[in-house]
């Protein structure tokens, strides 16, 4: 094997090939470093003398389906310039690693198209996670926050034992800026410190009402935005509560059967109703048999029109009129809900100043859940958080 092939084929430069062996279906290359290329790892002086050495092996790029191992007697040298005895540096491998840099790059390229287990099976090695984790730590050790302008904050459950993660997303780039264990304002304290140090000028924050106090305290100049998804989600929860209440109060069995089968139909948007399953007819029948349910449903459809208004002034007028209709409906659950948009009217109407949405955040949360299911849970929490930072580079199928 030529020195040129070592470099171009395996990324090993400055070494000479000594021998090739075939052991147990693997290929072993023995290489050595020429005496004239030895130098001190601290001062790069060539005035060194050999002081023995030890054998090291490194996994490198496979040849076809055969694993390849490089064997090298790593020299120990004494330096006359700085009077130290050290092992020489290895340019083709990182310190304290048993694989070459070219092997790590190859494993990372495969990881963009395969799961960790698939890559490990293909390469016949179980350190693929170590390679990924090292790469992610290097890339996401310091995430710049200075250019952050619009962000979203949310919490996501990651287990059956009450474990939560708090996620901060850059809405303009769709990239995760911060991940912390736990939930609530206390989980965000490290993020606020980093944000102050970066002197970022935050314009708008999209979040749930649970973070209003913390955001108002740490970002007093930022506008709070409540988008379409959050408000409709809250109303759908009230609509489900109303359906259950009406079901309990119903005396007629036919009405009970109709209410029981309309749970998901009430939550669907009209354009998503399936004509093949007569969903529109079933929904119309339920609304015809129950006036309070019909009132709540049509109020929901009217509320969706809020975000179709041409400007902030028209939206404020529309929201005020909608709240009056909800209070006048005589339905207790709707009257209670009407207090929410009145209380947070500014945050809702800020959408017309900053038309941002939690859609990217919901997509990120779905990716996190999918990633967790595919990995059957991450015992290494640090690795799990690092994978979340890289989600914006990953396909939705999360094969990487």
pTM, full prediction: 0.73
pLDDT, position 229? 82
Scan for tokens 């901060």, then name that residue. 168
Q: Which residue has the higher pLDDT, 309 or 210?
A: 309
Scan for tokens 């474990």, then name that residue. 163
Residue 99 has pLDDT above 90, yes or no: yes
pLDDT, position 268? 66
Bridge-partner residues for 57, per DSSP? 71
pLDDT more than 70, % of the chain: 86
Residue 398 has pLDDT above 50, yes or no: no
Relative to beta strand 66-79, strand 26-32 is: parallel
pLDDT, position 375? 56
Q: What is the DSSP string of 333-382?
A: HHHHHTHHHHHTHHHHHGGGTS---SHHHHHHHHHHHHHHHHTT--S-HH
pLDDT, position 330? 87
Are 151 and 202 in contact, with CB atoms under 8 Å apart?
yes
Relative to beta strand 175-181, strand 85-87 is: unpaired
Instruction: Tell the CATH superfamily of the 150-226+357-393 domain.
Output: Ribonuclease H-like superfamily/Ribonuclease H (3.30.420.10)
Q: Which whole number is the average pLDDT over 82-101?
A: 89
Are 129 and 146 in contact, with CB atoms under 8 Å apart?
no
pLDDT, position 322? 92
Three-state SS at 331: coil
């Amino acid at each position: 094997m030529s020195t040129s092939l070592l470099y171009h084929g395996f990324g090993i430069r400055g070494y000479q090939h000594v021998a090739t062996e075939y052991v147990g279906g693997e290929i072993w290359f023995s290489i050595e470093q020429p005496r004239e290329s030895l130098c001190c790892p601290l001062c790069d002086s060539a005035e060194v003398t050999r002081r023995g050495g030890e054998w090291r092996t490194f996994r490198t790029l496979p040849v076809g389906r055969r694993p390849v191992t490089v064997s090298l007697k790593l020299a120990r040298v004494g330096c006359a310039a700085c009077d130290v005895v050290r092992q020489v540096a290895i340019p083709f491998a990182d310190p304290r690693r048993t694989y070459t840099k070219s092997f790590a790059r190859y494993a990372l390229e495969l990881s963009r198209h395969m799961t960790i287990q698939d890559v490990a099976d293909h390469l016949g090695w179980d350190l693929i996670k170590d390679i990924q984790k090292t790469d992610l730590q290097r890339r996401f050790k310091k995430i710049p926050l200075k250019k952050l302008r619009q962000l979203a904050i949310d919490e996501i459950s990651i287990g059956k034992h009450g474990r939560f993660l708090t996620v901060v997303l850059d809405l303009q780039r769709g990239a995760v800026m911060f991940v912390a264990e736990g939930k609530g304002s206390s989980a965000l304290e490290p993020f606020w410190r980093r944000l102050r140090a970066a002197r970022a000028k935050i314009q708008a924050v999209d979040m749930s009402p649970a973070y209003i106090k913390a955001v108002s305290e740490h970002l007093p100049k930022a506008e709070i935005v409540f988008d379409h998804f959050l408000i409709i989600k809250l109303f759908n929860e009230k609509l489900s509560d109303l359906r259950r209440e009406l079901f309990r109060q119903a005396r007629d069995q036919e009405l009970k059967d109709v209410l029981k089968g309309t749970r998901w139909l009430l939550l669907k948007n009209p354009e998503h109703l399936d004509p093949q399953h007569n969903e529109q007819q079933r929904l119309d029948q339920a609304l015809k048999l129950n006036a309070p349910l019909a009132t709540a449903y049509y109020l929901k459809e009217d509320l969706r029109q809020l975000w179709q208004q041409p400007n902030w002034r028209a939206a404020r007028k529309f929201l005020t009129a909608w709240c009056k209709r909800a209070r006048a409906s005589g339905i207790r659950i709707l009257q209670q809900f009407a207090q929410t948009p009145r209380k947070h009217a500014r945050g809702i109407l800020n959408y017309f100043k900053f038309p941002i949405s939690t859609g990217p955040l919901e997509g990120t949360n779905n990716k996190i859940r999918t990633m967790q299911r595919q990995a059957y849970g991450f015992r290494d929490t640090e690795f799990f958080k690092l994978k979340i930072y890289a989600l914006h580079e990953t396909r939705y199928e999360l094969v990487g």
